[in-house]
Structure 1
Amino acid sequence: MAVRYSVLASGSTGNSLYIETQQQRLLIDCGLSGKKMIDLLAQIGRKPEDVDAILVTHEHSDHVKGLGVFARRFRTPVYANERTWQAMTSVTGDIPLEQKFEFQANTTKKFGNLDIESFSVSHDAADPMFYIAHDGDRKLTLLTDLGYVSEHIKGLIRDSDAYVMEANHDTEMLMMGRYPWSVKRRILGDTGHISNDESGIALTEVLGNRTKKIYLAHLSKDNNMKELARMSVGQKLESTGLKIGRDLSLFDTDPDRATQLTAI
């Protein structure tokens, strides 16, 4: 069986990605309540007790809100880097020592037949990192919650089969919106979030012949719309000569509904 995945939830209110092979079933982040996480897994026909491990990107509550409850109830091993472990305890509560494992940034760990590569990003968290799932020459990249896409990251994620990619905000909506300037400055800064246009530009620089699926993720509920994100990113991609729907597919994600379980 190839690698299969579902974006269980994505947005400013909660985030989680499910990945499976014949040997492993993983969650990356657990940012909704324990009850909602069970519901989201049920949407793709999976049970929480079947999850082999949870990998954490960073300690913000929209990524770890349900982690403590889920891990304690189902005795799920949890992997995070040292500084993230220290920073997220106030949100997750105590997790039994035998379920706590370190996964440092810029390293690779094997989970069954999956190699999971972690890489650091620029975001206002203790030690944020995201992941690339490798299965042979197949490659799935998760990249949200970062202020900019560095040349180093572009090199790591280039020519992935599928991307779950941040398109957090429309810059004009953000600037015209109700957020105080301090929050706007944080979102627009180098440790904030990338916009629709920034996402589209970065994608044009990393897409390869293998790339067939892009999921637009972590959309702000106040400063973005699905249609606007699709249009902005789609225009950037098609400016390179690609045709959405012919050469690759562009998908929405939702804060409370799982995407279809799909093979890379």
Structure 2
Amino acid sequence: MSKRLVTLGDSFTEGVGDDDPAAPNGVRGWADRVAEQLAAREPDFRYANLAIRGKLLPQVLAEQLEPALAMEPDLVTLYAGGNDLMRPKVDIDAMLVKYEAAVARIRATGARLVLFTGVDGVEDPLFRTIRGRVAIYNELVRGIATRHDALLVDLWSMRQLCDRRFWAPDRLHLNALGHTEVAIEVLRVLGVEHPLVKPEPAPRAVLSPAARRSQNLQWAREHALPWVRRRVKGESSGDAMAAKRPTLAPVDSAPVTR
């Protein structure tokens, strides 16, 4: 049983979209849920979450890898690259060379490592435009996982995540239902029994064309335009953020964060 879990990445691993005012950074997420289940089985369990929203893959590796290795974890999760794939231009092959080098370093410590593919955005007009990029990224990640004997959570194959009812209003991040689905799959891949129950979303709302246009306009004002402005200015949603669990600590503790 794992005693020291460290998670690396961006908003997906930080837990953005799964709002919880009582949690560090105001979000919970799949990683916290997994940590809670592991802690219930191991009294000495400790957990650190270094993920910060908005980070590109090179930033995740440059800022989080060394602190993670210094904690000597026996279980690590790594997901990065989603933000890179949304940029106008990205060299996926070059990006994954750096990713594989990090994977090799983590596995060389003897720690178990969990990797992730990207989600299939086929049901969303925005993500559908980068579906091919995500597919290429996924195939490269699958190869890396095989070569380095890493565990793989195949989000692309989780067809329930194509359902927009599992996503937050910003359409970019999973909501509590989606994060719970991911937590259940991570625990399955780890071979850990748990009491988590697969969530049932509310019935689909039937919207008129006018209501759908109004909803899309509201989304554009509240989420899309701020995102575009940040890209133009070279800013990130995580620029003023710190890791919500920067050091290994018991799950039921409240680590001090900025």
Higher relative contact order (CA 8 A, sep 6+): 2
Higher strand share: 1
* Superposition TM-score, scaled by structure 1 size: 0.36
* Superposition TM-score, scaled by structure 2 size: 0.37
Higher helix share: 2
